[in-house]
Homo-oligomer: A and B are copies of this chain.
Amino acid sequence: MPRTARLSRDDWAAAALAALTEGGASAVAVEPVAARLKASKSSFYWLFENRAALLDAALELWEREQTEQVATRLADIPDPVGRMRTLFRLALSTGGADLALRLTGGETDPTVLKVAGRVTRRRLEVLQASFRELGMTEERSRHRATAVYATYLGTAALARIGAAPSDTGAYVNDLLAAYLP
């Protein structure tokens, strides 16, 4: 089956994810995304039940991409310290943290919060395991993992308003110095 030219569910999901990144959940609207794809609404309603299904698809795509790219990429780094260094690099360089932040802290839609919660918990588990590897107690590991991830999100927030440090390397080193035993 040559699926050229015609639009697929995934095309719509990808465009919706782009809209989500740029303008949050409210930007995942049928007509604007259709315009982005130069398609019409009937095309959309042929492939999807309704607007909520589009948002679901975008979130699912994000969760999958994120899980494959970030979580495994972190889990594959053997050194716990290196893992955190990478995490902060990601927070400060790419816009990846930006979307995580928006979905975690800036939306009210329960669907969004559910997905954000799942992703967040998985990330926290990875971090917590890192601290345990470094010999911390269970409780302290949990606290540190929370603190590190909160810093990750918060730094993304500060970057949005231009209040994040410009000397990234030194900042990351200082964070690591504070969090590591």
Contact = CB atoms under 8 A, between A and B. Distances in A.
A143 B23 CA distance: 29
Contacts of A153: 105, 150, 153-154, 157-158
Contact of A143 (B26, B104, B113, B175): B175
A150 B154 contact: yes
B108 A105 contact: no
A121 interface: yes
A150 to B, nearest CB: 3
A83 B81 CA distance: 30
A111 interface: no
A142 interface: yes
A163 B113 contact: no
Given A101-B105, A149-B154, A150-B150, A117 B23 contact: no
A92 to B, nearest CB: 11
B139 A170 contact: yes
A70 B142 CA distance: 28
Given A146-B158, A150-B157, A117 B163 contact: yes
- Name A's interface SS: helix
Nearest to A157: B105
Contacts of A105: 101-102, 105-106, 153-154, 156-157, 160
Interface of A: 23-24, 26, 101-102, 104-108, 113, 116-117, 120-121, 124, 139-140, 142-144, 146-147, 149-158, 160-165, 167, 170-171, 174-175, 178-179
A-B CB proximity, top 5 nearest: A106-B106, A150-B154, A105-B157, A154-B154, A153-B154
11 contacts: A102-B106, A105-B106, A106-B107, A146-B155, A146-B164, A147-B174, A147-B175, A150-B152, A150-B153, A154-B154, A157-B157
